Amino acid sequence: MKTVLTVLSGILLPLALPNDYFLHGNPWIGTFCLVPLFFALYQTESLGKGMRLSALFGGISTFLSNYWLMFFKDYAFLTIGSVTLAYCGVYAVWGGFFWRFSRPHPYRPFYMAAVWTLFEFFKSIGYLAYPWGLIVYPFNELLPLLQIADLGGIWLLSFLFSLGNAFVAELVSSNIVRPSMEDLRSGVFLGATILLFLGYGYYRMGTSIPETSRLRVVLVQQNMDPWEMGKETENLRILMKLSRKGIQQLEGNTNLVVWSESSLPRPLQENHPFYQRVPPEEPFLQFLKQWNAYFLIGNPVVRRTQDRREVQNGVVLLDSAGTILDTYGKRHPVPMAEHIPFYEVPIVQAFFKKVIGLGGIWALGDRDTIFRITSTEGKEIRFGAPICFEDAFPYLCRRFILAGADLLINVTNDAWSRRMSAQVQHFVVARFRSIEMKRILIRATNGGVTCVIGPFGEEIASLPMFQSEVLPLEVPIRKESTYTFYTLWGDWFPLLLFALLLTTLLGKNDVTRKKNPLGE
């Protein structure tokens, strides 16, 4: 029975997240998707069984919510296989904590919510971080409820929604018809917290954020893989054609044109002769000279030292003369796909080349670049440019804002995933960065979701997915005079939970077990 309940939760969580059936997620399923898992843990007597159940849940939910990883070029085993196996292990380890705090206690729902929040926090930081599949994502369209993230980050919301699931599991575990006094108190606390979050959200969304300048931008979505054999020149033609269309729609008064991640696969730094003659009918560098605009383009960045040449997955900022004004190299690459630790060791390199078929990797970026351009009004606009899934990491985007960025511009290529649900999952993850820091986030992607997200997480404009199209628009840059509390203080909430749970673990435990309703 416990195994069946665990499998059920492993299916319900991916069904609540953005998927092919519920493209933007399903908050109703999100309110109880963890209940079967929590209930199964409540009835489990042994630590080992609790860890095995957690591992089972982790494997099923990870595979079902990230199935599109199998389309990552020819590395299906390395991507979906390694991620699923790895998270079986991660969930097994955390299963020990889930089981430990699932023991009967008047405050068990709060303990379970705290542990779940910490699990999602630690899952989302560090080199191996992968902040997909969090319990908050099914609720991504309930914007008034989400504004509290500018105080405590996404983690306050993780606590709220996991607490709701734990509360329902507690009712089922005790007596849903005749709840105990502890259940009633937990319910009152949960209801009061939701009202508090909603009240803050409506207040926050009713607060005007001053407009500091305007950015006339053209976002290009070519919907073609630039790495595909023989398609490089055709890809460049489409990018230039769409750019011309967007600039003309803005009547030539354009500040910035943005091309997605890896739009130019050859490093411009080393390949000027190539871009001076390709495409042959209108070379790229000649094309730039027609427009009085900056171009932000996904392009490998080369760094040379005395003994080696390193290539980073990067973006470059160009002026109309084709001069590279500044560059940024991706600082948080996809682990074990874009970057492999100790790859310079011959035996490691030989394994990945011969066994896995991975021929090369990106070097790590070495600085948080703040790009600077001038608006039509002559004002300086500063922005950070997180690449691909870097917009999923609060710590990294927060660094850009603290370094002086007025907004964030993300360049992404998720088109290889072939699924709209994969594109929307990334969009949902990214919109929380706008809410946390109350800044505009612009996304230029290969296949979707190319869009502009407002400081409250609202979608200002977007393009349909998997279509070759362009989005020209004037974006108001909104910026408060002070940073949000979260921008200033970062991840204080999970650290507070960690301290509280650690104190609990180190303290004396005089809690006695309640009678098991299943008679075990």
Instruction: Render 372-421 in DSSP notation, one character per residue.
Output: EEE-TTS-EEEEE--BGGGGG-HHHHHHHHHTT-SEEEEEE--GGG--HH
SS3 261: coil
d(CA 412, CA 445): 5
In this predicted structure, what is the pLDDT of residue 336?
63
Which of the four pLDDT bands, split at 50, 70 and 90, describes residue 78? Answer: low
Average pLDDT over residues 117-122: 96
Contact 453, 441 (CB under 8 A): yes
Which residues have a catalytic role annotated?
261, 330, 388
Average pLDDT over residues 137-156: 97
Lowest mean pLDDT among 396-405, 471-480, 501-510: 501-510
In this predicted structure, what is the pLDDT of residue 516?
44
The answer to whether residue 295 scores a pLDDT higher than 60 is yes
More confident residue, 114 or 507: 114
d(CA 327, CA 368): 10
Lowest mean pLDDT among 112-126, 343-357, 375-389: 343-357
Burial code of 186-214, b = ≥16 C-beta within 10 A, e = fewer? bbeebeebeeebeebbeebbeeebeebbb
The answer to whether residue 517 scores a pLDDT higher than 60 is no
In this predicted structure, what is the pLDDT of residue 304?
84
Average pLDDT over residues 40-67: 93
| CA-based nearest residue to 505, from 117, 113, 100, 126 | 100
Average pLDDT over residues 500-509: 82
Question: Across the beta sheet with 451-453, what order do the strands follow?
Answer: 371-374, 380-384, 407-412, 441-445, 451-453, 459-462
In this predicted structure, what is the pLDDT of residue 72?
64
pLDDT tens digits, 354-372:
655 566 678 888 899 999 9
All CATH 3.60.110.10 domain ranges of the chain, comma separated, are 211-331+366-479
Which of the four pLDDT bands, split at 50, 70 and 90, describes residue 224? Answer: confident
In this predicted structure, what is the pLDDT of residue 290?
93
Q: Are strands 294-298 and 256-258 parallel, antiparallel or unpaired?
A: parallel
Average pLDDT over residues 184-194: 86
211-331+366-479 — its CATH code? 3.60.110.10
In this predicted structure, what is the pLDDT of residue 409?
98
More confident residue, 225 or 296: 296
